[in-house]
Every structure is written in C-alpha cells, then in structure tokens.
Structure 1
C-alpha cells in the first residue's frame, strides 16, 4: 500500500483514539502491523501525529489556557480552575515519564505489555464506574487541588503503553468525585503539557531519523490526526455522561484479543 495512504489511515486512527479511553498506542501498533508499517520510521511518525492531536486541544481550549496564565486569580475565594490545578495534574506523570523514559522505551514497548495494559485499564474503568461515589465537581472550575492531584497520580499509569492516558485520568476523576464530563475535560487540559513534553523528548531523540523526503508523509498524518481529534474531542464530551466508561472497557478487552491474535501469535 502507498505510504501516503498509510499515513492518512494512521492519522485518522490517532485522531479517533487519542482522547478516547481505548489506548491510541495499542491501535497504532495494531493497525501499523496490519498495514506493514513498522520500524523506527513508523515510531517517529507516531510521535509526529500525536502532536497533531495535541494541536487540536490547543485550538479547542486556547482561551482556557490563556486564562490560566493570569496568576492573580489563584486562591481567590470563588472556585475557578487555575494554573495550580494543571501543575498538580501534570507533575506526577511528568516525573514518572522522565525517570522511567528509557526503561519504558526499551522494556515496556512490547505487544505483551500492551495486551496486559489494555485489559488492566479495562478493569480499572469498570471499577471506577461501579465504585465512584456522589459527584462533588460538576465542572472543571469546581475541581479542588486534591482532586487535581489524584487525577494526576492516576495519569502515571499511562506511562505504560496500552494503558491509555484518557482512561486512567477519567477513571481517577470519577473515583475522586468528578463527574464524567468534568473528568474528561480536565483530562484533555492536562494532556497538552504532558504529551507535548513526552513527544518533544521522543522527537529530539528521533531527529536523526527524519529526512526532508518524509515531510509529505508526516504532514498527511499530522493534518489527519488534527482534524479528526478536534471532532472526536467535542463529540466525546457531549456523549461521555450518557455512555460512561464501561462500553469502552469491553471494547478494550476485544481489542486486546485482536492484538494477541494479529500481533503476538
């Protein structure tokens, strides 16, 4: 298959799965294997198209990010999401990612780990749906610093390939007392700094694999991921309170089975 068509397909896959609790990494590995697109070039391509999804979040929430730069709002009596919430949501996973980066890339990026993580993440999501208590935060502006930190700690699970950053953070949000939409929206907001940092580090380490001849390939995937991710993020926020996480958990189990059959066997 033509590489440009493959880039378009994988860009769509990335855009569809980056913000859903289903593991974009697992999908990209599975579809990449089915299309025969593997190796270091494919790994670098995945880094590039993830930045396309991150750009979608920046476009959707640029006003919110700008408001976070106004530190004068911090600790005012009225409830409002501020920069400290984002910092608390990002710091745990940032430290975990930096400390474990080389170990993760060399030891955990394996099909078996992805299968186990898909199932483990599904179990966490089902548990969160069944065990969450009454919701105390119905908008992101009602989140407490404690809730932001709890969600940030759950995000550490996402350093394991296949676990899903969205799945772990939304589950953590539910268990911390945030409703589905609030947990999902905060998950999106803390995605940008953590993913830009992670993909930026990967990109720096992959620069010697980049060639000018690959620009069209990377551009197609980047644009496809950006456009699709924008639509998916908006739609997901509208639907998450109605459909919950359980349906995605069962989907992950099916995906793990497909992954085992088509990638591991």
Structure 2
C-alpha cells in the first residue's frame, strides 16, 4: 500500500478522533472529508471503505474506555477484581449501569428499526448539512436556557436521575440523523434538563461506549467479508490515529466544556455549513 494511501488513513483517523465526541458530528465530517476530498472508496471499494470507518470508530471508543476506566470498573462492580475501593454506591447518589441502559433504550430501538433506511437515504452531503445546522440551533438554545439559570441542579454525573437519563436518551434519537451529532444532542438535552455542561458531557461519553461499540461490532460482523489483508495497513494506521487523537480531544474537551460551553461549537457548525454550501452548491 502506497504512502499517500496510508496518509489518507491517518487523516481520516485524525478527523474521526477529533470529532467523534465533540458536538460537531464525526459522521458528518467523515462524509464531508472523504466524499469531497480523500475519496477512500476509489482505492478500497465502497464496502471496504465503510468497514474502515467502523474500525476507526472503535479506536475512538477505546479512548473513552481508558479515560473513564475507573467509572466503568465501578459501574460493572469490578472494583475488588482490580484492587480498587468501592465507589459512591453505598454512600448516596451514584451513577449506575442501569442509568446508562435506560438512556440507551430509545436510540437503540429506533436505530435497529430504521438502520437500513438511514444508511440508504440519509448519508449524503445535503442531509449532513441539515443535521449540522439544526443541531447548532439546539446547542445555542441550550446555552441560552442555561445562561438564565444561576446554578445547574445537577453538577456531577452521579446526581442524574432515571427520568433525566431517559429524557436524554430520547433526545439522543435526534443523532440518528447524520450530521446532528450524538454528543451535541445529548449534551444539549442534558443542559436543558438542568445538568451542568460537564455532567452532561460525562454522561454522554459514558453512554456512548456501549451503543457505539455494539453498533460498530454488529456493522463489522455484517461487513466482515469486505475486510481484506491487503487493506490491513490502512486499517491499522486509521485505528491508531483515531485512538490517539480521540484521547487528546476528549481530555481537552472535558477540561474546557464548563467554561466555553456549546456556543463556539454551534458557531463553527453554522460557518462550516455556509462555507460548504457556497463552495459546492
């Protein structure tokens, strides 16, 4: 495999890693960057290129698992196995695995019911631009509402109720539209429900792991026949690139989200939509 093709794998991994958990839509950026510029389908073939995008998404998921490893160990009741002390579960409010499951149910059900329709009809530049724009307005609305409140009711992910988890899960259904952004919809929804930006972001990232891992693994199994050894270096470079840049971007995002909030990301999305519209349409 030529160097230029491996460079494309690195760039696609970089785009995936930087955008997967930022509220800007990684799916939208992958479609825009690949379809308008890199065009991996030319040398990989359409189905192998789609499989590649699934594999690098697993790299981003691995980054979240590492960052929140203590939280996952605690939720799964594996503290003793890993030689760690029990979390807050015996001493008041505590984020439990059941909170995450409740939040996953709505989008999980709709995703299974409409997967084929979404894949066939919603993965285009036009639909992505619509998702980016509408999602930006939701984020602006969330910041405006939160700005009118003195202090958020929920400042840590351990204070989330089952009702809030379900409500965030329902809002997450919006992210089934490519370009809308899973983190953009769920963080906005959480903020509108009274969570701080950081609490909403933490819950978003934790909730993303099982639904993204499950969806990615199912898609990988479904498309396994399109995985070939010739493309293995391309897959490895993309996976490592996505993992490294996701690790960097998530840590950076979590440190700043309570300070910068969602408005800068919303403005970026609107500017991006305008630029692409005038350049390509």
TM-score (norm 2): 0.89
Match of 1:97 in 2: 111
Equivalent residues of 1:151, 1:173 under 8 A apart: yes
Paired residue secondary structure (2:231): helix
Deviation per CA, 1:222-261, whole angstroms, max 9, x where unpaired? 0010011011111101001111101100111122233335
Q: Write out aligned runs for 1:3-42 (5 A).
A: 3-32=5-34, 33-38=36-41, 39-42=46-49
Match of 2:269 in 1: 252
Match of 1:210 in 2: 227
State the distance in 1 between where 2:278 and 2:243 align.
30
State the distance in 2 between where 1:179 and 1:114 align.
28
Match of 1:85 in 2: 99
Q: How much does 1:73 deviate?
A: 8.6
Equivalent residues of 1:74, 1:82 under 8 A apart: no
Q: Write out aligned runs for 1:1-265 (5 A).
A: 2-32=4-34, 33-38=36-41, 39-70=46-77, 78-132=92-146, 133=149, 134-261=151-278, 265=281
Unaligned runs of 5+ in 2: 79-85
Aligned length, in residue pairs:
264
Question: Considering only CA atoms, is the larger Rg found in Structure 1 or Structure 2?
Answer: 2
Question: Please, what is the CA RMSD of the aligned residues?
Answer: 1.9
Q: How much does 1:70 deviate?
A: 2.8
Q: Quick one: structure 1 residues 42 and 255, their matched pair in 2 at CA, closer, same or farther if it must change by over 3 Å?
A: farther
State the distance in 1 between where 2:274 and 2:227 align.
34
State the distance in 2 between where 1:99 and 1:260 align.
31
Deviation per CA, 1:138-188, whole angstroms, max 9, x where unpaired? 111111111111111111111111100010000011011110111001100
Give every structure 1 segment of 4 or more consecutive aligned residues whose post-TM-superposition deviation is greater than 4 Å. Answer: 71-77
Equivalent residues of 2:31, 2:124 under 8 A apart: no
Equivalent residues of 1:13, 1:225 under 8 A apart: yes
Paired residue secondary structure (2:68): helix
Equivalent residues of 2:19, 2:29 under 8 A apart: yes
State the distance in 1 between where 2:24 and 2:114 align.
23
